[in-house]
Structure formats: structure tokens, C-alpha cells
């Protein structure tokens, strides 16, 4: 089998009965899906479950891909919707407090308080803090903040990925930011704000 086959060629081969070629598609797109799934869960076993579900769905629905858009876009749509379903079915205990913050996270906040104009250097600590806040958001709000603020996607693309209308994405983004600020106010004591 040629190593440089396009996604369309591989899918055509799968459709004509050579299902073993699906392995190539998995190998080709798994990194992107893992990166996406890790935005919605910190537990590695859950991340693997999400990615596995996306690929199983993709295989089952492969006939519905018509080749009008790149396969990667179609796969990302499946991934985003699977992640959203995951968020809705795994709503955890959404109560956190600053006492649970790690030393790194506390250092990040202290640096922010000391020099608010500059971004503190530790990006991992910031991501960890953002994850704490995101875990307390509703599934729709978490999805919006992730796609809009962390992945920096345009509203129109988010609408395509989620299946929501553009106005709905905008409304949800507004609400999500507001909810995030409320959580930050609740989480962060006066000395930080």
C-alpha cells in the first residue's frame, strides 16, 4: 500500500472492502484527536475512551463522508460532538476552592498580582488554572470557551463544528465568559482580585 495515499484514496479502499486501511487513517489523525480530547478531560483513560469512540463512529459513518470537505474537518466535527456528549454525561463535582491550588498555580496568581501588565511565564500553571475554572462551567460554556478562547477558532467554524447557529455561538460565548468571571471571583480571594 502506498504510504502517501490521500485520505480520499484510503476511504475509497475501505469502502470497496479493504477495511484494514482504516488503520492508516487512525495513525494519521490520532495525534490531533488526542490533543483535542485532552482539552476536555485530564484523565488519560477517559481521553483514550473519547478518541476510541470518535474513530469507531467515524468507521461506522464513513459512508456519510462525501468528500466535499476535507476528511479532517469531518473527523473534527465528530470529535467535537463526541467531546460535548462526554462533558454532558460526566458532569463532575463542580466545587473547587483555592485551597486546592498547587504551588505552581499559586505562584502564577502571585506573579499576576505583582505585575498584572505582563503575562506570568509558567504557561502550564495557567493552563491548569484555566482547567480548574473550565471544570466548573456548564458543558456548553466549557465547549465554547475551549473552542473560542483556547483553540482560537472563528465563530463560523465553531458553528460548523458544534452544529449550533452563529448567533447561538455568540450568545453562548458571551454567557460563558460571564460565567467564567463569576467562577474566578468565587475562586480567587480578595488578595488576587
Partner 1 sequence: MKVERLQQTMLAAARKAPPVADAPFAFERRIMARLRPRTDPLAVWSAWLWRAALSGCAVAAVTWGVGLSPWTSALPEDIAGEIEAPLELASADLEDALFAPADSSPEIW
The contact set with partner 1 (CB under 8 A) reads 19-20, 22-23, 26-27, 30-32, 34-35, 38-39, 48, 51-52, 55-56, 59, 108, 112, 116, 119-120, 122-127, 129-130, 133, 145, 149-150, 152, 177, 180-181, 184-185, 188, 192-193
Terminal Cα distance for the chain, rounded: 59
Q: Give the nearer residue to partner 1 in terms of CB position, either 166 or 193.
A: 193
The nearest distance, CB 115 to partner 1, in angstroms, is 10
User: How far is 115 from 119, CA to CA, in rounded Å?
Assistant: 8
Q: Where are the alpha helices (DSSP H) in 90-165?
A: 103-114, 123-134, 139-145, 155-162
Vertex 48 angle, CA 42 and 54, to 5°: 115
User: How far is 90 from 82, CA to CA, in rounded Å?
Assistant: 12
Q: Give the nearer residue to partner 1 in terms of CB position, either 23 or 165.
A: 23
Contacts of 71 (CB under 8 A, 6+ apart): 7, 8, 11, 25, 65
The nearest distance, CB 158 to partner 1, in angstroms, is 16
User: How far is 105 from 122, CA to CA, in rounded Å?
Assistant: 9
Q: Give the nearer residue to partner 1 in terms of CB position, either 23 or 163.
A: 23
Q: Give the nearer residue to partner 1 in terms of CB position, either 150 or 166.
A: 150
The nearest distance, CB 25 to partner 1, in angstroms, is 9
- How many CA within 13 A on the CB side of residue 172? 23
The nearest distance, CB 150 to partner 1, in angstroms, is 6
The nearest distance, CB 30 to partner 1, in angstroms, is 4
Q: Give the nearer residue to partner 1 in terms of CB position, either 2 or 68.
A: 2
Amino acid at each position: 500500500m502506498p504510504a502517501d495515499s490521500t485520505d480520499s484514496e484510503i476511504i475509497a479502499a475501505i469502502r470497496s472492502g479493504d477495511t484494514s486501511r482504516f488503520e492508516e487513517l487512525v495513525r494519521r489523525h490520532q495525534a490531533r484527536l488526542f490533543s483535542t480530547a485532552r482539552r476536555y478531560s485530564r484523565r488519560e483513560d477517559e481521553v483514550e475512551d473519547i478518541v476510541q469512540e470518535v474513530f469507531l463512529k467515524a468507521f461506522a459513518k464513513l459512508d456519510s463522508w462525501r468528500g466535499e470537505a476535507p476528511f479532517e474537518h469531518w473527523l473534527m466535527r465528530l470529535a467535537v460532538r463526541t467531546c460535548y456528549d462526554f462533558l454532558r454525561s460526566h458532569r463532575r463535582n463542580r466545587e473547587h476552592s483555592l485551597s486546592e491550588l498547587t504551588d505552581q498555580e499559586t505562584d502564577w496568581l502571585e506573579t499576576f498580582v505583582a505585575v498584572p501588565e505582563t503575562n506570568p511565564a509558567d504557561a502550564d500553571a495557567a493552563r491548569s488554572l484555566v482547567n480548574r475554572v473550565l471544570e466548573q462551567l456548564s458543558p456548553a460554556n466549557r465547549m465554547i470557551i475551549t473552542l473560542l478562547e483556547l483553540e482560537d477558532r472563528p465563530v463560523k467554524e465553531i458553528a460548523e463544528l458544534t452544529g449550533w447557529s452563529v448567533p447561538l455561538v455568540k450568545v453562548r460565548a458571551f454567557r460563558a465568559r460571564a460565567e467564567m468571571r463569576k467562577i474566578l471571583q468565587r475562586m480567587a480571594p480578595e488578595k488576587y482580585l
